[in-house]
Amino acid sequence: MTHDAGSALARIAESEAGPGGLNAFLSLADADDVQPRANGPLAGAPVAVKDNISTTALPTTCGSRLLDGYQAPYEATVVRKLRDAGGVVIGKTNLDEFGMGSSTENSAYGPTLNPHDRSRVPGGSSGGSAAAIAAGYTTMALGSDTGGSVRQPASFCGVVGIKPTYGRVSRYGLAAFASSLDQVGVLGRTVTDAATLLGAISGHDPHDATTADTPVPDYADDVGRGVAGMVVGVPAEYFPDALDPAIRSLLESGLERLVEAGARLEKVSLAHTSYAIPAYYLLAPAEASSNLARYDGVRFGVRQEGSDIASMYEKTRRGFGDEVKRRIMLGTYALSAGYYDEYYGTAQRARSLITQDFAEVFARVDVLFTPTAPTTAFSLGERTGDPLAMYMSDVFTVTANLAGIPGVSVPVGYVDGLPVGGQLLAPWWGESTMLAAAGAVEASSPGSLP
């Protein structure tokens, strides 16, 4: 295991060179610029940063040809905070273009491979961050989670991934995808690693009006609190009959261990769960079509000259990949005159029902325990020709984004040698309770990283 930035960079350079690499990183820090630090909660820890988070020392491509070589003129608040806490940015990690995807195959710079099985995807869109931890390159990484993009790759790679409450962490400097859903998240080798990084980057930021000005608890300290007396909800809709029996069995074992540790289980229902994917795939593309209008060759994007400005826009935007174009088209349609209420308005109302389901259930239980994803890591290319099949990878994670609640994926075991994650969901601002439960699941789960 690599604990300092210099040796992490040496190991990455050695392992990622040539055809045997995972393609987890899009750029790496210069070893000469990396100064070890002993102060702060991160105390010199190497941290990988998803390449849709702005850094001034390294390019920020968002996995897109449109931002090839783009150097941000300012730094994201989360990067400044992690450096202030003693963390060292060792490199920028691969992702689905602008965060749009569930496999990291939509990167313009090629797919990232899963360290557990290189014929499989690492999940996405924060696949580079998850793979970097699973490969032992680092113990901590930043990601972003709009519909499950931290938790699903954490599940596929056997690491821990946290999506905080909407408003817990600043998004200043995060390339916007769907602004009512986006959150910066963290990934770690252990729950404590992830909780430590979350504590370092959380808090109010005057540059992001959606952040809350409330104290940040000591999340790392919460991890060992235990679950004695905690009520864990088990939502029926997340354990459908079609769920892989081997995944179901691992989740049920996790629930049994929570009971042994002092928790009580309660069966609950989140009745509108099946409407989450339809609502999400209207709302997220609608917001994306608006946010991505800035990639026009004037404000952002490598300009392709045209005879007039309309032609320049279109030639420049040829640089988007297929999935990004698909979502811009879907979102533009959903927002177009005559369809706004039928699509966007309906999806927002469905979102209200999903949020209300959570509010009612959290009046009775402290946390919910679910699978993170319906499958283990799938094969490279298996779903690239079927957008709907790819979207269904997020079926258990998008609900947290729609409602704005926190969620964490914790490894619970293996099926056929591939990791499986269990997801804990908590009420708004309930990270402390959620991490206590995650710590208990982790402490009782078998398994090790490759």
Partner 1 sequence: MSVTRADVERIAELARLELGEQELGRLTSELNGILGHIGQLASLDLAATSDLTPQIRSPLPATRPEGAEEADVLRQSPASFAPDWREGFFVVPPPPGVHREPSE
Question: Minimum CB separation from partner 1 for residue 239, in Å?
Answer: 20
Among 83, 116, 317, 383, binds partner 1 (CB under 8 A): 317
**With binding defined as CB under 8 A, does residue 312 bind partner 1?**
yes
Among 25, 281, 378, 396, binds partner 1 (CB under 8 A): 281
Among 38, 229, 307, 338, binds partner 1 (CB under 8 A): 307
Using CB under 8 A, which of the segments 39-47, 127-135, 330-338, 415-423 binds partner 1? 330-338
**With binding defined as CB under 8 A, does residue 199 bind partner 1?**
no
**With binding defined as CB under 8 A, does residue 293 bind partner 1?**
yes
Q: Which of 103, 107, 129, 149 is catalytic?
A: 149
Token pair belonging to 27 = 């750029």
Contact 157, 123 (CB under 8 A): yes
Question: Minimum CB separation from partner 1 for residue 328, in Å?
Answer: 5
Q: How many residues interact with partner 1 (rule CB under 8 A)?
A: 70
Q: Which of 64, 102, 107, 125 is catalytic?
A: 125
**With binding defined as CB under 8 A, does residue 336 bind partner 1?**
yes
**Which of 148/430 has CB closer to partner 1?**
430
**With binding defined as CB under 8 A, does residue 364 bind partner 1?**
no
Residues 156-195, one symbol each (x = binds partner 1 by CB under 8 A, - = not), give ---------xxx------------x---------------
**With binding defined as CB under 8 A, does residue 381 bind partner 1?**
no
**With binding defined as CB under 8 A, does residue 3 bind partner 1?**
no
Question: Minimum CB separation from partner 1 for residue 61, in Å?
Answer: 14
HEC profile for the chain? CCCCHHHHHHHHHHHHCCCCCCCCEEEECCHHHCCCCCCCCCCCCEEEEECCECCCCCCCCCCCHHHCCCCCCCCCHHHHHHHHCCCEEEEEECCCHHHCCCCCCCCCCCCCCECCECCECCCCCCHHHHHHHHCCCCCEEEEECCCCCCHHHHHHHCCEEEECCCCCECCCCECCCCCCCCCEEEEECCHHHHHHHHHHHECCECCECCCCCCCCCCHHHHCCCCCCCCEEEEEHHHCCCCCCHHHHHHHHHHHHHHHHCCCEEEEECCCCHHHHHHHHHHHHHHHHHHHHHHECCCCECCCCCCCCHHHHHHHHHHHCCHHHHHHHHHHHHHHCCCCHHHHHHHHHHHHHHHHHHHHHHCCCCCEEEEECCCCCCCECCCCCCCHHHHHHHHCCCHHHHHHCCCEEEEEEEEECCEEEEEEEECCCCCHHHHHHHHHHHHHHCCCCCC
**With binding defined as CB under 8 A, does residue 332 bind partner 1?**
yes
Question: Minimum CB separation from partner 1 for residue 199, in Å?
Answer: 18
Q: How far apart are CA 182 and CA 126, in angstroms?
A: 13
Residue type, 214: T
**Which of 71/249 has CB closer to partner 1?**
71
**Which of 56/375 has CB closer to partner 1?**
56
**With binding defined as CB under 8 A, does residue 282 bind partner 1?**
yes
Active site residue 125: yes
**With binding defined as CB under 8 A, does residue 375 bind partner 1?**
no
Question: Minimum CB separation from partner 1 for residue 211, in Å?
Answer: 8
**With binding defined as CB under 8 A, does residue 410 bind partner 1?**
no
Question: Minimum CB separation from partner 1 for residue 348, in Å?
Answer: 4
Among 8, 169, 350, 398, binds partner 1 (CB under 8 A): 350
Active site residue 307: no
Q: Which of residues 411-450 bind partner 1 (CB under 8 A)?
A: 428-429
Burial of 382 (0-12, 13-18, 19+ CB in 10 A): middle
Among 93, 102, 144, 289, binds partner 1 (CB under 8 A): 289
| Core vs surface per residue 227-241: b (16+ CB within 10 A) or e | beebebbbbebbbee
Q: Residue 410's beta-bridge partner residues? A: 422
**With binding defined as CB under 8 A, does residue 396 bind partner 1?**
no
Among 40, 296, 375, 415, binds partner 1 (CB under 8 A): 296
> Among 433, 358, 384, 373, which residue's Cα sits nearest to residue 409?
373
Active site residue 409: no
Q: How far apart are CA 33 and CA 163, in angstroms?
A: 30
Catalytic site positions: 50, 125, 149
Q: Which residues bind partner 1 (CB under 8 A)?
A: 56, 71, 73-74, 165-167, 180, 206-207, 209-214, 272, 274-275, 277-279, 281-282, 289, 293, 296-298, 303, 305-315, 317-318, 320, 325-326, 328-330, 332-333, 336, 343, 345-353, 355, 387-388, 391, 403-404, 428-429
